Amino acid sequence: MEAKAHIAIVSIPVFTHQVSILEFAKQLIHLYKNTFHVTCIIPTISDSPSIASKHFFGTLPSNIQCIFLPPTDFEDLRNDLTLESQIQISVSRSMPLVCETLKSISTSSNVVAIIVDTFAYEAHQFAKDLNILSYRYFPCSAMVLSMCLYSSKLDESITCEYKDHPNPIEIPGCISVQGTDLPDSFQNKSSLAYKLFLHRSQQLCEADGIIINSFVEMESETLKAISQKYLCGTTPNVYPIGPIVQTRPNIQKNACECLLWLDNQPPNSVIYISFGSGGTLSHEQINELALGLELSNHKFLWVNVRAPSDKASANYLSNNEVDPLNYLPLGFIERTKGQGFVMCGWAPQVEVLKHNAIGAFLTHCGWNSILESIVHGVPMIAWPLFAEQRSNAALVTNGLKVAMRPKCNSKGIVVKEEVANIIKGVMEGLKSEEIGKRMKELQKFANCAMMENGSSMKTFSMLALKWKRLGRPIEVERWA
């Protein structure tokens, strides 16, 4: 019996990144049964995984093995480090253990390729040491990848802070964006986060290829600009294999109260609200959102409600045990009992989005959530919080035109009247119809990309067949 080709994956201590890269691995295993074995090495920050992550890792197939490294010690770090800096430092400090684990795997199996998260770029050197192919897995949009590839040129040409630049930022193949809509890492040129971002972006060219969770039909001009080296002359081949979204076995409805609630709602009547696995709002913003939902008179499902914080990513790498319902407006739960459903915990987002009661998705614009919304044809309200989410919001509103975006006041707050108006805009009227029509067209393209002869599936097969051939014990084929 022919030995399985072994793929090593290096992820990072962020659940959404782990989901994306492991869903990619699941697709590989599903399409090429009994051909590949995957080992995913995961640096960690905390000993206590979330409910959602426990469920996810419990459903992985047997030929995907996850190795969780010991938690990173952060005692010597400043408390004011950005989320991106914390992640990058955590991954960098885990690299000796990553190297040791990779060497151990390589001595007992035929490792043909290493696929690393974009934050784990240092692992590319281990691939060179082991004489195997290495790929960067980019779990964001092609537009954000373009920003990374073009970052050195932007750094040279724009001397002021990007947020202060008077004109929209132009990047080949992309829609123009305001400086304030560039990722958080761009927002302070003197910061450690910006320096780490530039360095991480420059290292993209160290890989043998970049695997990106997007698809040609959605970002054709951007992918064309990347392939024609308009952004960076040494860009490796880019492989769009999306949309890769989370898949789960069907969840019994009696195990999730929100699905039972949705069953009793009319089709396309409910707006679903979620700020992802860690996004948080200020107390003032929580109040305005809640009162706006009430004012809209539309039905709503609001999940993952959290205690307030003035730092949008406050709960991303930690768990706050304070009861967040205490921070909602007085009497809100009682007044909206027939109108809405509020829950603090995890909800099965895939099952929620494909439910026929859902009419729109108010999202923080994490890329996984955007792709899930597209796959299930659900129009969006774009409410970005941190990281690259504002860039994603610009793409879905100004580029793809499948979302609406609320306006903030001078204090950066979306007031209740704006919340109500934006909900009405995406749920009713001519504008709603236009957005819905474009989303259904994009959904069709997304589904076609993942069909047997679709653009992404062809790319997927090309990579898989190459790795399968390298798995054969014929040394001369290693770099053919």
Question: What is the enclosing helix (H) or strand (E) of 154?
Answer: helix 151-157
236 exposed, middle or buried (CB, 10 Å; 0-12, 13-18, 19+)? middle
Question: Are 220 and 142 part of one and the same domain?
Answer: yes
The rounded distance, in Å, linking the Cα atoms of 454 and 449 is 4
Question: Are 399 and 456 part of one and the same domain?
Answer: no
241 C-beta neighbours (distance < 10 Å), count:
26
pLDDT tens readout for residues 114-172: 999 999 999 999 999 999 999 999 999 999 999 999 999 999 999 999 999 999 999 99
Tokens of 290: 């809640």
Question: Are 441 and 460 part of one and the same domain?
Answer: no
- Residue 395 DSSP symbol: I
Question: Are 316 and 294 part of one and the same domain?
Answer: yes
Helix, strand, coil tally for the chain in percent (to 5): 45, 15, 40
Query: Which residue range is the domain that position 324 belongs to?
Result: 253-446
Instruction: Read off the pLDDT band of 13 (50, 70, 90).
Output: very high
pTM of the model: 0.94
Question: What is the enclosing helix (H) or strand (E) of 53?
Answer: helix 51-58
Instruction: Read off the pLDDT band of 478 (50, 70, 90).
Output: very low
pLDDT tens readout for residues 69-85: 998 877 777 777 787 88
The rounded distance, in Å, linking the Cα atoms of 467 and 115 is 12
Question: Are 232 and 93 part of one and the same domain?
Answer: yes
Question: Are 286 and 324 part of one and the same domain?
Answer: yes
The rounded distance, in Å, linking the Cα atoms of 188 and 205 is 24
pLDDT tens readout for residues 304-337: 999 998 877 655 555 566 789 999 999 999 999 9
CB 111, CB 105: distance < 8 Å: yes
Question: Are 240 and 351 part of one and the same domain?
Answer: no
Question: Are 218 and 311 part of one and the same domain?
Answer: no
More confident residue, 425 or 277: 425
Q: What is the mean pLDDT of the chain?
A: 91
The rounded distance, in Å, linking the Cα atoms of 35 and 477 is 17
As annotated, the active-site residues are 17, 117
The per-residue pLDDT for 471 is: 73
Number of domains in the chain: 2
185 exposed, middle or buried (CB, 10 Å; 0-12, 13-18, 19+)? buried
Rounded to an integer, the average pLDDT of 406-417 is: 97
Tokens of 169: 């930022």
Q: Residue 175's domain is classified under what CATH number?
A: 3.40.50.2000
Question: Are 190 and 294 part of one and the same domain?
Answer: no
- Residue 397 DSSP symbol: I
Question: Are 232 and 322 part of one and the same domain?
Answer: no
Question: Are 300 and 440 part of one and the same domain?
Answer: yes
383 exposed, middle or buried (CB, 10 Å; 0-12, 13-18, 19+)? buried
378 exposed, middle or buried (CB, 10 Å; 0-12, 13-18, 19+)? buried
Rounded to an integer, the average pLDDT of 448-466 is: 95
- Residue 207 DSSP symbol: S
Min mean pLDDT across 3-17, 47-61, 209-223 is at 47-61
The rounded distance, in Å, linking the Cα atoms of 39 and 111 is 10
CB 439, CB 379: distance < 8 Å: yes
Question: Are 457 and 393 part of one and the same domain?
Answer: no
Check whether 250 has a pLDDT greater than 60.
no
Q: What is the DSSP string of 435-458?
A: HHHHHHHHHHHHHHHTSTTSHHHH
35 C-beta neighbours (distance < 10 Å), count:
17
Q: What is the DSSP string of 217-262?
A: TTSHHHHHHHHTTSS-TTPPEEEE--------PPPPGGG-HHHHHH
The per-residue pLDDT for 45 is: 84
- Give how far the C-alpha of residue 332 lies from the chain's centroid of Cα atoms, to the nearest Å: 31
The rounded distance, in Å, linking the Cα atoms of 193 and 186 is 8
